[in-house]
Structure 1
């Protein structure tokens, strides 16, 4: 590939996609771009992700682009996934607005509360799995 910036960006996209697929399998996808409408680099519904591997960061611009892409993709949440220099993929930055964080957290908490009300045994299993994940960090 003759453009080194494009090659670096493509490597970052593959790394992030591989990392997400370790847990989410084929639910994490690289959407096909349709014409001139940009729908983001990676989707993991309900997220549309804008991936960036640049030496200097423009978080505001990344988020503006990610939010436009999420809207175009019909996804409710947008975030930028930014390469952190000299670190592995799992140490990259995930950048979102505080409003997005609040909406995503409210959705998660609502789902957990509904699970607890509907089936306390499944809720206990869910919490046990969360504890295992935290121990393996």
Structure 2
């Protein structure tokens, strides 16, 4: 995940080495902090909670990602669920509705543009909007990160 995102964001050279080891924009695996966990991967401005399991529990994972983003001091927490036996770029990136809206607002795009540009699909689970989320793939997430970084 980390290596794919560093490559997709143009942060590595031809041999796969990070161009600037001191850049805050590099995608990094975070050191685990115990009770004050800071997420699995930092891809500024996102904390990624990474999962590779057969049975997804996305709403619970999203709550975990939000807490870990707060602990790390990052504005956005999302979940990346690797699709088994598939290329990492096909991993599913899940956004809670509030996070998706905050990112969309930061990009200055409409909801329709956000859905179309980054191929988001909604998942509505019952009447509790806290269980709703939007999903895209890792390749489009990398483009979203690049666009968000350029907009700042």
TM-score interval for Structure 1 and Structure 2 normalised by the shorter chain: 0.5 to 0.7
Normalized against structure 2, the TM-score is what? 0.59
Tell me the alpha carbon deviations over residues 2-28 of structure 1, each in whole angstroms, 9 at most, x when there is no partner: xxxxxxxxxxxxxx0111010332510
Question: How many Å separate the matches in 2 of 1:29 and 1:108?
Answer: 23
Q: Which blocks of at least 5 consecutive residues in structure 2 are unaligned? A: 12-17, 19-25, 110-142, 144-152
Larger Rg: 1
Deviation at 1:35, TM superposition (A): 4.3
Question: How many Å separate the matches in 1 of 2:5 and 2:45?
Answer: 14
Normalized against structure 1, the TM-score is what? 0.65
Deviation at 1:32, TM superposition (A): 1.6
Question: How many Å separate the matches in 1 of 2:91 and 2:43?
Answer: 17
The answer for the alignment partner of 2:66 in structure 1 is: 67
The answer for the alignment partner of 2:23 in structure 1 is: none
Q: Which of structure 1's runs of 4+ aligned residues deviate more than 6 A?
A: none
Question: How many Å separate the matches in 1 of 2:108 and 2:85?
Answer: 34
User: How many pairs align?
Assistant: 96
Please give the residue correspondences for 1:44-123 in structure 2 after superposition, counting only pairs within 5 Å: 44-109=43-108
Question: How many Å separate the matches in 2 of 1:35 and 1:84?
Answer: 27
Computed over aligned residues only, the root mean square deviation of the Cα atoms, in angstroms, reads 1.7
Considering Cα pairs closer than 8 Å and 6+ residues apart, tell me whether 1 or 2 has the greater RCO.
Answer: 2
Deviation at 1:70, TM superposition (A): 0.4
The structure where strand makes up a greater share of residues is 2
